[in-house]
Amino acid sequence: MNQGSGPRRTAEILDATLRLLAERGFEKLTIEGVAERSGVNKTTIYRWWPSKAALLGAALIDAPMLRFPVPDTGSLHGDLAALARSLSRLLTEPPTAPLIAAALGAATHNAELASYTKAFFADRLAGELPIFERAAARGDLPDGADPMLIMDALAGAVWVRVLLRQLPIEPGFAENLATLVHPAAR
Amino acid sequence: MNQGSGPRRTAEILDATLRLLAERGFEKLTIEGVAERSGVNKTTIYRWWPSKAALLGAALIDAPMLRFPVPDTGSLHGDLAALARSLSRLLTEPPTAPLIAAALGAATHNAELASYTKAFFADRLAGELPIFERAAARGDLPDGADPMLIMDALAGAVWVRVLLRQLPIEPGFAENLATLVHPAAR
């Protein structure tokens, strides 16, 4: 949460934005609707976020419900499996699953929103880098390993299984995926 | 192409469907528009595909522009890298890139279309399984390796890099990704 980067009741405004997105979709999301749901005057919201794409972009990056603790299990395999489990939950369980599907769908045909989702994924990767720094310090990450590529494969597998194949996440999926994309065994 | 599973000029109808999707998006895709573009009477199209989701589902599975040859390079690493390169091209180059983004966006909020995209990904995985059967026969795939999980990580990494991170596919990406998700080194 960026203290000081929004009006009072920023948390309520951003939470209302995400819940209305999940309920109505991006087309029917309006700043007026967010004002009504959060109890904040719409001119206040417009002053801070000049468009609904800007408001949704801020909501995606700051929303507590889309954050999970960066794992520190003591091994890279354990940390990767924990990330896969957290992401699986975000993509399959309410309230986050419908919200993420709606944001993804909207970003595919709204260039302004796409620029905010790009910033969202860059922000998340920056938050995950300490996992790889700790692994390197332990000797658990070979020279030349590429943290972004590992995260692409790890996160991408969860996205493909849930959103493209539309199949359930089975027991052992996170551990097997962590084993597959862990580069240290080479 | 399923010979005999559609009217004469099926190829033109399905091609027109995909091009109109890329140009207009799913909301503005209509069977009337497909009839006009393909020069086929709309009642003929409705007789075979009762909804635009059904028509688009057929178009996605049968469209030649969304197919690529299943690679047979002589090694699993070579085949995986070839798949990553083909998928990277589909997701980044016209005419397929805007079409795939539009289909993905539409499938996130249309349950009927989502059932067709699910069938699409199952069809593609079935087509890719011979890669893994040949690798197993060569001793290039360890017992217990999971072809679907490998394809999830391989394809997912390309989807994440292009559509979520919105970053370019750099030289060496396909080879490095194939190395990361190749299970035989363990």
Tell me whether A152 touches chain B (CB under 8 Å): yes
Domain B68-185 is found in CATH 3.40.50.920: no
Q: What confidence score (pLDDT) does residue A73 get?
A: 97
Cβ atoms < 10 Å from Cβ of A5? 10
Distances (CA, A) of A95 to A17, A28, A34, A174, A184: 13, 18, 17, 21, 36
Tell me whether A143 touches chain B (CB under 8 Å): no
**Residues of chain B found within 8 Å of residue A148, distances taken between Cβ atoms:** 165
Give CA–CA dist B66/B103, Å, rounded: 12
Tell me whether A166 touches chain B (CB under 8 Å): yes
Interface test with B, best of A162, A164, A182 (most B CBs within 10 A): A164
Contact present, B49 and B55 (Cβ < 8 Å): yes
| H helix runs in B51-182, sequence order | 52-62, 76-92, 96-107, 111-138, 147-159, 173-181
Give CA–CA dist B122/B130, Å, rounded: 14
* CATH code for the domain defined by B10-62: 1.10.10.60
CB contact under 8 A, B159 and A154: no
Q: What share of chain B is helix, strand, coil (3-state, %, to 5)?
A: 70, 0, 30
What is this model's ipTM?
0.93
Distances (CA, A) of A144 to A148, A170, A173, B40, B107: 12, 32, 26, 56, 38
The domain defined by A69-185 folds into Tetracycline Repressor; domain 2 (1.10.357)
- Averaged in consecutive runs of 10 residues, what is the pLDDT profile of chain B (186 residues)? 68 94 92 97 95 95 88 97 97 93 90 95 96 96 94 98 97 97 75
Nearest to B102 among A109, A146, A152 (CB): A109
Tokens 């059932």 appear where? B115
Contact present, B102 and B110 (Cβ < 8 Å): no
pLDDT digit string (tens) for chain A, length 186 residues: 444 567 889 999 999 999 999 999 898 999 999 999 999 999 999 999 999 999 999 999 988 888 888 999 999 999 999 999 999 999 999 989 999 999 998 998 899 999 999 999 999 999 999 999 999 999 999 988 999 999 999 999 999 999 999 999 999 999 999 999 998 754
Distances (CA, A) of A184 to A5, A71, B27, B118: 41, 18, 47, 34
Give CA–CA dist A2/A50, Å, rounded: 18
Cβ atoms < 10 Å from Cβ of A159? 22
- Spacing of C-alpha B115 from chain mean position: 14
B10-62 and B68-185 have identical folds = no
The 3 state secondary structure assigned to chain A is CCCCCCCCCHHHHHHHHHHHHHHHCCCCCCHHHHHHHHCCCHHHHHHHCCCHHHHHHHHHHHCHHHCCCCCCCCCHHHHHHHHHHHHHHHHHCCCHHHHHHHHHHHHCCCHHHHHHHHHHHHHHHHHHHHHHHHHHHHCCCCCCCCHHHHHHHHHHHHHHHHHHCCCCCCCCHHHHHHHHHCHHHC
Assigned token pair, B133: 């059967």
Buried b (16+ CB within 10 A) or exposed e, A134-148: bbeeeebbeeebbbb
Give CA–CA dist A81/A87, Å, rounded: 10
CB contact under 8 A, A153 and B153: yes
Distances (CA, A) of B28 to A42, A90, B23, B46: 31, 31, 9, 17
What are the extents of the domains in chain A? 10-62, 69-185
